[in-house]
Structure 1
Amino acid sequence: MSPRFVFKRLLPLLVVALVGHGHVFAQESFRVELGKDGETLRDMRPVFLKFESRPLPAISPAEVARRYQKLFEDSDEPEVRIDALNRLNNIRDRSGENIGFSEEKEAEIYEDVLGSYENILSRGSFSGRLDELLYQMAKAHALTGQHQESIQRLRQLVGLYPTSELVPEARFRIAEAEFSAGRYLEAENGYRALITAGARSELATKARYMQGWSQFKQGEQSWGRAAGTFMELLDQQLPSSEQIQQPHHSSLDMVEDSFRVLALMASRLDDAQTLERWLASRSQSPWFYLLYDRLADLHAVEGRYAQAVAVNNGFVRAYTEHESKPDFLIQNVEFWEMAGQPRQVRQAKETFVAEYLAANDFQQLPVQHQQRWQLYGRTLADFYYASGSRYQSDGQGVEAKRSWAKAAEYYEMLGGRSVADGELMHLAGDARLLAEHRTQALTNFRLAAYDAGYDRANEAGWAAITLLRSVLTEGGQSPGATDQSEALATLSAEEQRYSQAFGVDERVSALRADLANRWYARGDYQRALAYAKKTLDWDSPNSEQRYAAWLVIARVQQHKSEFGLAERAWRQALTLAETENQLAVPAQEQNDIREQLAVAIYKQGEQAAAAGNAALAVAHFQRVVHVVPGSELAIKSRFDAANTLLKAAEWLAAINELNRFRGDYAEHPLAEQVSEKLVYSYQQSGQPLKAANELLATASRLPDPWPQRLRAAAIYHESNQTERRNELYREWLSVAPRPATAGEHVQQQTMRQRLIKSGATDSGTLQALVAIESESQWHSDETLSWAADAALTLGVRAAEEFAAIGLVHPLEETLVSKQAALERAQNYLLEAETFAGEAVVTEVLFRRAELYRVLAADLMASEVPAELNELETMQYQMLLEEEAYPVEERAMELHTQNHQKIRTHGYDEWVGQSLEALAAMHPGRYSRNLRWMTWAEKENDGV
């Protein structure tokens, strides 16, 4: 780095080296060196001053100079010699050629002729111009080291000849003398006077330059004026952008020095803030950005890199739209690189990249800056990618993800602005995936695979597939999917896109097998079947892929109830599992396949049975046994084979199969159903006794045998096996609990009634029938009728017992027995009426009346005690008549009630018998020849 640290990007032609420097020196009338930079600000000096002479006449400068030199050497006249020397200097100055005396010779000559100048002035006579004479004398004094005298002559020139064309230069020399003497305010005033007087532009420019230095030298309080002066100078020298790019070579040092001083002053004040203040009060000049550049360069040269960057940032903040903004941002990167601060270098690069992230902003950058943007972006992307890996290795997962995310952002920024678009998007996808930004990762992988012309596009495409598969495997939700089915559809679409772009290979075949399984698990059997078939359609799927595909096909066909196709697929899978050792299918899995194969065969049996093809169904069921012998399904198949025969009404074959099944699997739960099916088969095949025997055999093995035994009794009843039936009825009624339901009540009463009808007339059965019906809350017409019959039967028996009891001595005892028998008969008869109602009312009335009539007759015919005398006997009989009369009246009353039933009930046998009894008991009233006719009232015909 050169001491000046010139920012060549901003001002490529504004350099310190002055091209053609020697030629410029040849044009000077004389040169004054004001010294180099000092140790302090006060010691600083301008770089240089130059002056040019007036135009030459149109003659040969060398020839004229030779003649004036000859004249000077040959003449003894002071005026002639001085005039010749003056003309000689003018020719040299105007021609710009190195003619006349050498500089060493010139100093000797001026020292020699100095006396001549004084002599001429003292005489007050000179044929030439005195203003030129004073100028030459000033020069002579200067060349001989008499600076005070030189300035004195220049002051005389200004005072005596204020309109002379030499006055501006004299004023300049005077001001320079003040500057050299350290009288900077006087020097400033002198330069200002020269500028105000309207000196020629070149001299005015130099005066303004030196005026600025004079103000600078006066100290910090005058730096504001100095800044204004130098900026006015820059406005003159660099009025346009074109002039900045191609400045005049004669003003390069002056312009560069002006920038240097302005930068120096700003650096000692508030840096960029100072520049902003200086520039705020004036219209914006095209060169103003160079001022920021020089200030930043100054800090950088002196090792203050942070301040240099701050100045650049100040410019960027203040002038966000300036075309030099990217240069300043790039320079920040270079400053931090010089400072050896990698973190700040990275931040500066990030700032530059971020500023031109927008497509429009990026397109407006020059090509070299676009390239720089791409370089910075790639550097940052690679850095953050590597940082993520380091963080991950150190166990800092959160920081690792953050770094990978930033790396991805930079790769994505670069993606659309680089010829390596595909590679960058692939890297961006990797970084996003590591950062767990799966949606962006998927997008990047797809761009790299299908939109970038990338030489490793297939790997990027496969990365997208791997991403989608991993999400599904983890049970998560794929990018852009609302549920697992949609995520699986996305993966399937990705497989199709990949296969169309890159063809099918081993990985794709494995993926298709995996997709087949996944679609099956999701319940989309059509897609599952399609992917399984595509797996098998490839030229060379390996055994693992074929195995997976056949399994899916088998399951799908089984689900679709295409069990024949399912059986084929299961057999293919089983063959691979048993023969391909590399598959290493566990024994349990092989058993599962066999079971599924057996299910497929079994389902074919079910389908054949449903279609009515019993023979085929039985054949399928029996095949199951050979696939999974001893299994539950094999046992069920044997059982279903028997059921199929039953449904087909193949009774004998079904009976044989059922008996064989029970013999082979007596302890199996299904064996419990065999008995029932055998009972049905026996009944349907005309073997009811075998059915009943099967029921009784089954009952013997049951904790509660009676349901089966009662069913056997029912079969005996239907088969007219009355004795066997009655035996079971009696056993059951002897242990049967009180009926808990109407059905149980009817069942038990039916059994008693059947026993009675079959000859069981014992009082116990009859009484049980009556008692149970009387106590029960459930009745039916039949049970009530049966109970009424039983009650009548018992009443008749009781009446017979009543009639058989004779009233003998002692009468009190026999009468008690007879009354008890009467009450029993009465109760049974009333119960019969309660059960049967109007159906038995006439019979009941008759039988009750007869009980009283018999009692009255028996009372009248009862034995008279032997110890009674005749009177006592008569009195005793009278007493009996008094006792019998009410009883007889009661009998007649009941018979009369029965007689009256004719009006509501009609005439029947028992009404007729009551009339006969009444005729015998009351012949005057009832002993008539009557004929009972049925009366049917007809409608009145209107008569």
Structure 2
Amino acid sequence: MSKSVNKDFEGTPQLKESMVFSRTASGRCVLAVAIGAVTLALAGCPSQQVQTLADLAIVELPEEPEVQLPTLDVSSLQDSYQTALANTTDPAARRLINLRLADLEAERLEQLQADNPGQIVKFDSAIEKYRAVLGETAQAGGSESDLAYLNYQLAKAYAMQGDQERSLDALGQVQQVEKASPFFVETLFRRAEADFNAKNYRAAAQGYWSVLSQGNSVFRTNAEYMFAWSQFKSQNYRPAAQGFVRLLDYLAEGGSFEELESGKQRLVDDSLRVLAMSLNYLGGWEQLEGIAKNGSQRKFHSLLYKTLGDWYLEKERYEDSANTYLAYVNHYPVSEAAPGLHLAAIEVYRRGNFPSKLIPAKKTYVENYGIHSPYWAAATADARSGLQATLHAFLQELAKFEHARAQSLSGAGGKRQGADARIKAGARTAYLAAAGYYEQFAETFPADTLTPEMVFLSAEALQQAGDHGRAYKAYDRVAYEFGKQGAEQRAAEAGYAAILAADRMAASDAAAQASLWQDIKTEASLKFADTFPEDARALAVLIGAADNLFRKNAYEPALQAAGKALDWQPAPRAGQKETLYLIVGHSHFELQSFAEAEAAYSNVLALPNLKATKRADIVERLQVAIYQQAQELLAAGNKQESIAELLRVRQAGNSPTASAAQYDAINLLLELEDWGRVIAEVADFRMRYPKHKLVATLMPKMILAHEGSGDWVAAAGELVRYADSDVDEETRRGARLVAAEHLEKAGEIKRAIALYRDYSHAYPQPMDQQLEVQFKLVNLYEAEGDVYKRNFWLKKLGANKGEGDRAQYLKAYALSDLAAQSYEKFRAIKLTLPLQKSLKDKKRAMEVAVADNRKVMDSGIQAFATRANFEIAEIYQQLSRDLLDSERPGNLSDLELEQYEILLEEQAYPFEESAIELHQVNALRTAEGVYDEWVKRSLASLRELLPVRYNKQEKALEWSDEVY
């Protein structure tokens, strides 16, 4: 091709290599010439007579093993065809040979030009031959196909000559000859190229579009490319961009651009470059989606954004470049190309010195492609591996940035009085962000040597942010999960920090969660002590865990932890021992291991410098432990051993527990009737606890003990004290009464009488008891021989108003006794002279005695009524007898004496009759079933008074044993 042709196509290097004019293959004995599908036999092959090029049929050769033939150069072929021409007279065959000679000439010249790039090669000889064949064919009436081919080859020769005008004229002849010709599309293409070279870009664009309108052809790629270029040159940037996109679509159909041959790869690169310029003129990346998107992403979609971004970067338009890269990222965040373009944007910010945008872009990168992103979830292992290097760097950088920012804000807030809440909130947000990046690093790179440190720093940040729950988990991981994976220096520190974090959670969280965090703190403390026993804080942590376990009622684990702490080396200090012994003691106590609890409390009391206030409490606990051991023995039926334990309680000192234990011991001694020990322990209790509320309740126990031991006087004294001290009136009344009874039983009659007498005066009610006391006094005064005082109480007893049987009985008893005394007084009066005077006294006494007995009879108590009835009868009989037996005056004559006696008999007789009547009343009681002593005595008196009637002798009848 001439230099002029090269010049016309400047700026489109791909076109030079893709311009294809059909060439004829050479170098074989049988040559297939692609001119309307013609086969020509040469070099000894028989010739065929044909009328036109189109009349020659295709000859199919049989399949034979390939034979390596000698290669003939063009000159040799030309010589062969010249020989054939000389030997051929047939016009049609000669035209074919001339055509072949023209083709060989054109091929020779092309080869010459190719071999000598710097040399100008003239194609006149080939042009002359084609024109001659064209004239002969036209004159012979050749077909349109033959003419089209000849004009096409002629146009090619003119083009190679550099004569574009004649080349176009020849192509015009092809276009006019036959639209269906295989050269028609190329003709359209060559004319469009001519317009483009002439800078008639709009016409060129129409021409290229005409080529594209014909469908697929060998010119499609170049037509698409040149159409887009023509639109670009015409400043129609949107159609230009769309054209380049269509070209790229076509080129991408066979696979990725990297798989294309080098020429097409350069075509892709140039298309992308011009597309970027077109988009820039249209407004940049914001126009890209409207032009490039076709329902979904194209294979090369990301390449469009990258090319535009790269173009901006070349022009140092940094923000436009970064925005273009990020636009793709925003549109297609899960695309495989997104991470690369995001990184490209970050690099642009770095090169352009945009620090304010660099950190946010890196944060977005981590959000978009980090381990928690949808991209990561859907990515392949290879894709993830490709991200890791960047994430490794970015996560560290972002974590340190946020941590430093948080510390700066915290420092600023701390310098201000009443730091601004917004500053504090900002610092907390930054700490949480830093923690998030540290955590994400650890999750993304679990086996990395930096991971333990990252987790520790995340815990520190969370702690500063007040998120103690998450901080605990992070500290715990550093302390126990990583082991020797780079965490040795941090392990103990993290383990202790985990305990503090759990403690803060327990102090600040809701009630239910607080309990849970207390448990977590305890578990962390135990683990710390086991894992880091050499740490100076381990013992204190273990003691704290034991205390927490005890407070949570986990007594067995608390004992284990406390026991381990007590065995710690170096040994716990006195204050620590005090705490541990108390945990042991209290835990054993709650587990009802009271002997072990006592031992632990004893250990506490043995510690030096124990505060008095604490000592009192511990003594109390120790005494309770002993007390409970006594209760266990009692439950097992070992009363004596239980008493011994109860009394051992007081050895630790006087206390409420000691008093309760001694009181229980007294009760058990009462049950065992160990009266002497009861008396001794009650006395001891009174001495130890004179103001104790139970002292009053000991009096009945003491009374019972004295009674049990037979010391009725002491029992009575206790009862009197009891009566004097008790607030209950009824209790005092009963105590006094029982005290009097005890004194009576002990033979202390005077003291008993005094108590009975006081009782009778003090407690008129209840009447039944009052009457019994009066009855007691009657009997006691009788025993004392004090008739006067006895009668005093008899009269009270006889005057009672009680309605019950016992009251009536005692009333009758008293009246009967008083009546008996009246009867005895009556009997004691003798009838002496002067009779009138003594008889008067006698009758007065009789009246009193009869009246007293009448009262007895009125009582209705039969046991006493028969006696009263008898005594009245005896009074009358006695008076009658006394009258008859009375002293006679000594100065009476016999007659006077006789008359005097008759007079006495007359006076005595009525009294005797009255006596008989009264005795008969008693005697009649037998019919009622009454036959007591007084009825018997009345019958005896009647036998004396009425012997005929009442002194009959009984006769025993003998019955025959014979049976009639």
TM-score by length of 1: 0.64
Residues 795 and 408 (structure 1), Cα distance of their counterparts in 2 relative to 1, 3 Å cut: farther
On the 8 A contact 2:189/2:211 being kept in 1, the answer is yes
Q: 1:930 to 1:371 in 2, by over 3 A?
A: farther
Aligned residues: 794
Is the 2:208–2:226 contact (alpha carbons within 8 Å) kept by the matching residues of 1? yes
8 Å contact kept, 1:138–1:153: no
CA distance, structure 1, for counterparts of residue 318 and residue 13 of structure 2: 20
In the alignment, does 2:189 pair up with 1:175? Answer: no
CA shift, 1:720, in A, is: 0.8
Listed one character per residue, the Cα deviations across residues 675-711 of structure 1 (whole Å, up to 9, x for unaligned) are 7777677666665545555666787788888766555
Amino acid at match of 2:545: L
Q: d(CA) in 2 for partners of 1:648 and 1:271?
A: 111
Runs (5+) with no aligned partner, structure 1: 1-24, 36-45, 62-84, 579-584, 858-880, 934-942
Q: Could you tell me which residue of structure 2 aligns to residue 94 of structure 1? A: 114
What corresponds to 1:50 in structure 2?
16
Look up the SS of the partner of 2:8 in the other structure.
coil
Kept in 1: contact 2:368–2:375 (CA 8 A): no
**Which residue number in structure 1 is paired with residue 329 of structure 2?**
312
| Cα drift, residue 522 of structure 1 | 3.8
| CA distances 1:276-300 after superposition (whole Å, capped 9, x unpaired) | 65456xxx75334423544566688
1:208 aligns with 2:224: yes
Among 543, 554, 562, the alignment partner of 1:513 is 543
Match of 1:940 in 2: none
Distance 1:273 1:895 in 2: 152
Q: Is the 8 A contact 2:775 2:793 kept in 1?
A: no
Amino acid at match of 1:30: N
Post-superposition offset of 1:907: 2.4
1:749-780 deviation line (CA, Å, top 9, x unaligned): 655655566556544412433455x4367x76
**Aligned 8 A contact 2:476 2:498 in 1:** yes
Q: Report deviation, 1:513.
A: 1.9
Change (3 A) 1:567 1:910: closer
Query: Quick one: which of 281, 300, 304 aligns to 1:291?
Result: 304
Distance 1:567 1:535 in 2: 19
Counterpart of 2:858 in structure 1: which amino acid? L
Identify if the C-alpha distance between structure 1 residues 614 and 292 changes in structure 2 by more than 3 Å, giving closer, same or farther.
closer
| Root-mean-square deviation over aligned CA pairs | 6.4
Matched, 1:233 2:247: yes
Name the structure 2 match of 1:766: 794
Identity %: 23
Displacement, 1:239?
3.5
SS for the counterpart of 1:31 is helix
Q: Which runs of 5+ in 2 are unaligned?
A: 28-70, 74-104, 136-149, 414-419, 882-905, 957-963
CA distance in 2: counterparts of 1:729 and 1:204, whole angstroms: 147
1:490-511: CA deviations, max 9, x gaps?
A: 6665555555555564433223
Paired residue for 1:902, among 910, 926, 929? 926
2:582 maps to: 551
Residue 816 of structure 2: aligned partner: 792
Higher relative contact order structure (alpha carbons within 8 Å, sequence separation ≥ 6): 1
Taking the TM superposition and a 5 Å limit, the aligned residue runs for 1:680-719 are: 688-689=712-713, 692=716, 710-719=737-746
Aligned-pair CA distance for 1:535: 0.9
Query: Taking structure 1 as reference, are residues 919 and 198 closer, same or farther at Cα in structure 2, changes over 3 Å only?
Result: closer
Deviations 1:556-585 (A, max 9, x none): 45667777765654454345442xxxxxx6
Which residue number corresponds to residue 721 of structure 1? Answer: 748
What SS does the corresponding residue of 1:303 show, helix, strand or coil? helix
Q: 2:759 matched to which residue of 1?
A: 732
Whether the 8 Å contact between 2:873 and 2:915 is mirrored in structure 1 is: yes
Partner of residue 370, structure 1: 388
Indicate if the aligned counterparts of 2:241 and 2:275 stay in contact, CA closer than 8 A: yes
C-alpha contact 1:509 1:541 (8 A) present in aligned 2: no
- Taking a change above 3 Å as real, the CA distance of residues 842 and 249 of structure 1, as seen in their structure-2 partners, is same
Whole-Å separation in 2 of the counterparts to 1:646 and 1:572: 35
How much does 1:532 deviate?
1.7
1:355 maps to 2:373:
yes
Q: Partners of 1:851 and 1:384 in 2: how far apart?
A: 134
**Conserved? CA contact 2:193–2:204, under 8 Å:** yes
Q: Report the CA distance shift for 1:792/1:538 in structure 2 as closer, same or farther (over 3 A).
A: same
Q: What amino acid maps onto 2:614 in structure 1? A: E
For 1:303, the equivalent position in structure 2 comes to 319
Pair 519,824 (structure 1): closer, same or farther in 2 beyond 3 Å = farther
1:534 to 564, 570, 574: 564
Aligned partners of 1:292 and 1:315 also within 8 Å: no
Among 262, 272, 275, which residue is 1:249 paired with? 262
Q: TM-score, normalised by structure 2?
A: 0.63
Shift in Å at residue 540 of structure 1?
1.2
Q: Write the distance in 2 (CA, Å) between the matches of 1:186 and 1:26.
A: 25
Q: CA deviation at 1:516?
A: 2.6
1:187-206 per-position Cα deviation (integer Å, ceiling 9, x unaligned): 123224556789984x6533
* Kept in 2: contact 1:26–1:98 (CA 8 A): no
Bigger CA drift: 845-854 or 521-530? 845-854
The answer on whether the counterparts of 1:770 and 1:787 sit within 8 Å (CA) in structure 2 is: yes
Q: Name the CA distance, whole Å, in 2 between partners of 1:156 and 1:524.
A: 107
> CA 1:605–1:211 in 2, change beyond 3 Å: closer, same or farther?
closer
Instruction: State how 1:378-397 maps to structure 2 within 5 Å.
Output: 395=421
In 2, Cα distance between equivalents of 1:269 and 1:666: 104
3-state SS of 2:7 partner: coil
Contact 2:369/2:387 (<8 A) preserved? no
How many Å apart are 1:726 and its aligned residue? 0.7
Deviations 1:10-31 (A, max 9, x none): xxxxxxxxxxxxxxx9999513
Residue 722 of structure 1 and its aligned partner are, at CA, apart by: 0.9
Give me the whole-angstrom Cα distance separating, in 2, the residues matched to 1:488 and 1:822: 100
Q: Secondary structure at the match of 2:537?
A: helix
| 2:388 partner SS | helix
Question: What SS is found at the alignment partner of 1:727?
Answer: helix
Corresponding letter in the other structure for 1:371? A
Q: Is the 8 A contact 1:293 1:312 kept in 2?
A: no
CA deviation vs aligned residue, 1:871-900 (integer Å, no higher than 9, x gap): xxxxxxxxxx9xx99x99999998776544
Aligned mates of 2:348, 2:767 — CA distance in 1: 107
Q: CA deviation at 1:602?
A: 8.4
Matched residues in 2 for 1:647 and 1:608: separation? Answer: 16
For the pair 1:31 / 2:31, whether they are aligned, the reply is no
Q: Do 1:849 and 1:892's aligned partners in 2 also have CA atoms closer than 8 Å?
A: yes
Q: In structure 2, what is the equivalent of residue 189 of structure 1?
A: 206
Task: Tell me if the contact between 1:151 and 1:173 (Cα under 8 Å) persists in the aligned partners.
Answer: no
Q: Is the 8 A contact 1:137 1:153 kept in 2?
A: no
Tell me, yes or no, if the aligned pair for 2:763 and 2:770 is still in contact at 8 Å: no
Local SS of the residue matching 1:738: coil
Find the counterpart in structure 1 of residue 81 from structure 2.
Answer: none
In 2: Cα distance, 1:361 partner to 1:615 partner: 82
Alignment CA distance shift 1:686-1:695 (3 Å)? same
8 Å contact 2:562–2:580 — kept in the other structure? Answer: yes
Find the partner of 1:271 among 269, 287, 292. 287
SS state at 2:544 partner: helix
Deviation string, structure 1 residues 382-437 (Cα, Å, up to 9, x no partner): 66666777787654677777776666665555444312454445555566667777
> Cα 1:576–1:721, aligned 2, differ >3 Å: closer, same or farther?
closer
Alpha carbons 1:842, 1:898 under 8 Å: kept: yes
**Is the CA contact 1:433–1:441 (under 8 Å) kept in the aligned structure 2?**
yes
Q: Contact conserved, 1:602 with 1:621, CA < 8 A, in 2?
A: yes
Whole-Å separation in 1 of the counterparts to 2:751 and 2:345: 119
